[in-house]
Amino acid sequence: MSWYLAAPVAIPFVTAVLAFLLRNGPAGRWVSLAGSVALLVASGLLMAQVIEHGVIAGQMSNWEAPFGITLVADTLSAVMVVITAITGLATIVYGMGEIRPRIERLGYHALFHAMIAGVCGAFLTGDVFNLYVWFEVMLIASFGLLVIGGNKAQIDAGIKYVALNLVSTLAFLSGIGMLYGLTGTLNMADLHLAVQEVENQALVTVVAMLFMVGFGVKAAVFPLFFWLPAAYHTPSFSVSAVFAGLLTKVGVYALMRMFTLVFVGDVGFTHEILLWVSAATMLTGVLGAAAQSEFRKILSFHIISQIGYMTLGLALYTPLGLAGGVFYLVHHIIVKANLFLVAGVAQKAAGHNELARIGGLYKAAPFLGLLFIIPAFSLAGFPPLSGFWAKFVVVKASLELEYWFIAFVALLVGLLTIYSMTKIWAAAFWKPHPDGYEPKLSRIPPGDLWPMLLPIVALAVMTMIIGLFPEVFVQLAETAAVQLLDPTHYVETVLGEVAR
Amino acid sequence: MNSIIVTAGARILVALLLVFSVFMLLRGHNLPGGGFIGGLLGATAFIVYAIACGTAEARKALRVSPEGLAMVGLGVALVAGLISALTGDPFFTGQWYWVGGDSYETAAFSINSVLVFDVGVYMVVFGGILSLILMLEEEL
């Protein structure tokens, strides 16, 4: 059982080591691809186990909980690992067309898989300190990816990224220290029980706020998001796609985990803050995007606004709300990663990233226009695409609680999202190219173009499937939400193995 | 820096530090010490050498690239964790084979995956620290 849980962490690490040792030849690239496929298989097996058993846990090194490190997967963790594997594979395939051998020789694939290991580890761990360690693995590897190849803009972005993320780490680590001082344990399931017995509940709320700030920076919520738009438009498109898809979601996941399992003593206070933070995040993100004129910067600000919907799901703290949040997470990872990948093809075909300096893409490549429209409209919440259902569930949940204003903000942000997407559409696809330059997909060598288009098509098809057959996915999200709201099974699975 | 005293002294120091680093690695099995501190000491040896004779000399003396060493170390540590799959134990469960007995008290010595893991850590720290310091020395 425990190997189902260990594999999604071990496979990327093994791949990273092999890819690094083989980085000077084409073999490294293929090892990297094979590792991504293996991770997808492993995550599928994990998902099957979780569907069968509900929650599964494994004690690494055979040290019993709560003393050792527990890996544990409930439906949310398993779904996140699967989606990580999908995004990882899509990006690696895309990178076959985009990433040059010079970058590969610097260790691109090793860093990439180390980051994926960090992301999977964060999703699977059942120990707060271990979560911190995975955050660090992810941060260090992602810093490497951000600056790899090192032009000036990348280094500038990298410094902002690392400095602000270290601040978040500091808040997180202080929180862990205080939590350990209060309860004497760091195992999440054990914490669920121990936190309830702490006499000074006010102090627990203080610790909860430290965690909220720490994870809030990672998740890029208002007012802690400013590192994100400063960094995400600088690296290669593969890197920014995987960052946009996965990294902030780890913060959202950590928020969801800690604020349903551990910090639920004062929901009226903590989740009320989250509620207004979510509304502010949605609004500032989308307004920020409206002011931008660079392809990837617009998309970066939209990440922020969409994060608001996910934390909103958590803040509502009802089964439907959380289900909406989880559904939104999955939908958004696919859609957002895809939009960044499309931005890469658009840039290569039209020659620039500033919307003012490109155009005519629709005439040159109507198929690419279609591939952009699917994720873009899904992001804005058009039926029948995945984003419609995600928004529908979250808005319905907030209407059920009679949060009229929040529901209004959520709908308004959807409308403004369409504005930004049509802005990109009009500028990049419809208007003629300002320099009279004719963008052509054939400018990209076919050996590069196909690996780049393949993952875009695959992710677009996934968006369509989620949109056309939402029942399965909503059910899965509801299962995840029920498990989050009633962690008894989770706690028993983790700690129950002590008795055995 | 071209001081004959430093160069001559460095040769002795390097040898001492390297021996001490391996001693620390093995001692860490049951007493304070271990792969991390051993790796730091080992890296220190080459840093002293680099200060005395230059980074190019130090890289030549090391023979392998420090980055490669660190990654191989990560692989060694992973193998130590993966060995437990053969016996059906969870990831990273320590595997012990006692030679001349069946427990810590009676056996002459043991072959175990814990030491393999520590050797991996030793290489990661050794290579990681050294690559950072050499890089800084060369840049500045």
A→B contacts (Cβ < 8 Å), by residue, are 2-3, 5-6, 10, 13-14, 16-18, 20-21, 58-62, 107, 110
Q: Is the pLDDT of residue B93 over 90?
A: no
Look at A62 and B72 and tell me if their CB atoms are within 8 Å: no
Q: What is the mean pLDDT of residues A354-363?
A: 81
The ipTM, to two decimals, is 0.86
Determine, for residues A20 and B71 on separate chains, whether the beta-carbon distance falls below 8 Å: yes
| Residues on chain A touching B82 (C-beta within 8 angstroms) | 10
Q: Helix H segments across chain B?
A: 4-27, 35-53, 55-62, 66-82, 113-139
Instruction: Check B90 against A107: CB less than 8 A apart.
Output: no
pLDDT at B1: 58
Q: Closest approach of chain B CAs to the CA of A106, in angstroms?
A: 11
Residue A240 has pLDDT above 70, yes or no: yes
**A6/B91 Cβ within 8 A:** yes
Distance in angstroms (rounded) separating the CA atoms of residues B102 and A321: 57
To test the contact with chain A by mutation, choose from B65, B91, B121 the residue with the greatest count of A C-beta atoms within 10 A, namely: B91
**Nearest chain A alpha carbon to B124:** A17
**In three state form, how does the secondary structure of A231-276 look?**
HCCCCCHHHHHHHHHHHHHHHHHHHHHHHHHCCCCCHHHHHHHHHH
Per the listing, tokens 């895809």 go with A338
Q: A150-176, pLDDT tens digit by residue? A: 788 888 888 888 888 889 999 999 999
Query: Quick check: B96 pLDDT over 50?
Result: yes
Determine the Cα–Cα distance for residues B140 and A475; give it in Å rounded to an integer.
58
Nearest-by-Cβ selection for A17 from B74, B81, B90: B74
Judged by CB atoms closer than 8 Å, whether chains meet at A60 and B90 is answered as yes
Q: Residue A499 above 60 pLDDT?
A: no
For residues A353 and A169, which has the higher predicted lDDT (pLDDT)? A169
Cβ count within 10 A of residue A304 = 25
B68–A21: do the CB atoms touch at under 8 Å? yes
Distance CA A116, CA A58 (A): 20
pLDDT at A150: 75
Please compute the mean of the pLDDT values over residues B51-66 and round it to a whole number: 88
* Residues of A whose CB is below 8 A from B75: 14, 17-18, 21
The token duo for B126 is: 């050794």
Domain boundaries, chain B: 4-139
Tokens 């950072």 correspond to what residue? B132
Q: How far apart are CA A133 and CA A187, in angstroms?
A: 14
Instruction: Pull the structure tokens for residue A454.
Output: 């393949």
The more confidently predicted of residues B107 and B134 is B134
For residue A68, the 8-state DSSP code is S
Residue with tokens 């893991």, as numbered in its chain: B117
Contact B71 A17 (CB under 8 A): yes
pLDDT digits (tens, 9 = 90+) for A433-456: 777 777 777 777 888 888 888 999
Residue B90 and residue A3: Cβ atoms within 8 Å? Answer: yes
3-state secondary structure of B50: helix
User: B92–A61: do the CB atoms touch at under 8 Å?
Assistant: yes
Query: Which residues of chain B neighbour A59 with C-beta distances below 8 Å?
Result: 90
Question: CA of A179: how far to CAs of A64, A204, B78, in Å?
Answer: 21, 8, 31
Which one has a higher pLDDT value, A250 or A65? A250
Contacts of residue B132 in chain A, CB cutoff 8 Å?
A: none
- Shortest CA gap A61–chain B (Å): 4
pLDDT exceeds cutoff 70 at A64: yes
Helix, strand or coil, per DSSP, at residue A187: strand
The whole-number pLDDT of residue A115 equals 95
Q: What pLDDT does A337 receive?
A: 93
Mean pLDDT estimate for chain B: 87
**CA B8 remoteness from chain centre:** 25
Of A308-312, B58-62, B101-105, which range is least confident?
A: B101-105
DSSP codes of every residue in B69-99:
HHHHHHHHHHHHHHGGGTTTPPTT---EEEE
Q: What is the pLDDT of residue A435?
A: 75
Mean pLDDT score, A472-479: 90
Judge whether residue A36 has pLDDT over 90: yes
Q: Which two three-digit tokens encode residue A402? A: 């009679």
Residues of B in contact with A58 (CB under 8 A): 90-91
**Interface mutation vs chain A, best among B65, B67, B71, B117, most A CBs within 10 Å:** B71
Contact residues on chain A for B94, CB-CB shorter than 8 A: 61
> Whole-number mean pLDDT of chain A?
89
Coil, strand or helix: which one is A125? strand
* Average pLDDT over every residue of A387-401: 89
pLDDT at A68 over 90: no
Residue A498 has pLDDT above 50, yes or no: no
* Reported confidence tier of residue A497, pLDDT bands at 50, 70, 90: low
CA distance A135 to A150: 23
CA pair distance A214, B114, nearest whole angstrom: 34
User: Which residue from A275, A264, A258 is spatially nearest to A221, judged by alpha carbons?
Assistant: A275
Measured between beta carbons, the chain A residues lying within 8 angstroms of B78 are 10, 13-14, 17
Tell me: pLDDT of B108 over 80.
no
- Cα–Cα distance measured from residue A172 to residue A195, given in angstroms and rounded to the nearest whole number: 17
Closest CA to A61 of B96, B68, B36: B96
The number of folded domains in chain A is 1
**Helix residue ranges per DSSP H, A99-222:** 101-105, 108-124, 128-147, 152-183, 188-196, 201-219
**Interface mutation vs chain B, best among A61, A494, A497, most B CBs within 10 Å:** A61
Structure tokens at A109: 């694939």
- Stated as kind and residue range, the H or E segment containing A51 is helix A27-53
Residue with tokens 């058993």: A53
Residue A362, pLDDT score: 83
Instruction: Please indicate whether, in this complex, the C-beta atoms of A58 and B85 are within 8 angstroms of each other.
Output: no
Please tell me if residue B132 touches chain A, with a CB cutoff of 8 Å. Answer: no
- What does DSSP assign to residue A291? T
d(CA A4, CA A306): 32
Residues composing chain A: 500
Instruction: Give the nearest partner residue to B74 out of A3, A13, A107, using CB atoms.
Output: A13
Tell me the pLDDT band of B24, cut-offs 50, 70 and 90. very high
Pick from A289, A282, A286, A381: which is nearest to A335 by CA?
A381
Q: How far is B122 from chain A (nearest CA, A)?
A: 16
Name the pLDDT band for B87 (thresholds 50, 70, 90).
confident
Average pLDDT over residues A47-67: 87
Cα–Cα distance between A338 and A245 in angstroms, integer? 8
Per-residue CA distances from B70 to A390, B122, B130 (Å): 44, 9, 9
Query: Which residues are paired to A59 by β-bridges?
Result: A70
Q: Name the DSSP letter for residue A26.
A: T
Gap from B21 CA to chain A (nearest CA, Å): 25
Spell out the residues 6+ positions from residue B116 whose beta carbon is closer than 8 angstroms to its own. B76, B77, B79, B80, B83
Place of tokens 């846990």: A57
Q: How far apart are CA A361 and CA A350, in angstroms?
A: 7
Residue A252: pLDDT band by 50, 70, 90 thresholds?
very high
Q: Which amino acid is at B17?
A: L
CA distance A110 to A31: 10
Q: ∠ at Cα A442 (A436, A448), nearest 5°?
A: 130
Determine, for residues B89 and A62 on separate chains, whether the beta-carbon distance falls below 8 Å: yes
Tell me how close the Cα of B5 comes to any Cα of chain A, in angstroms: 38
Q: Using alpha carbons only, how large is chain A's radius of gyration in Å? A: 22
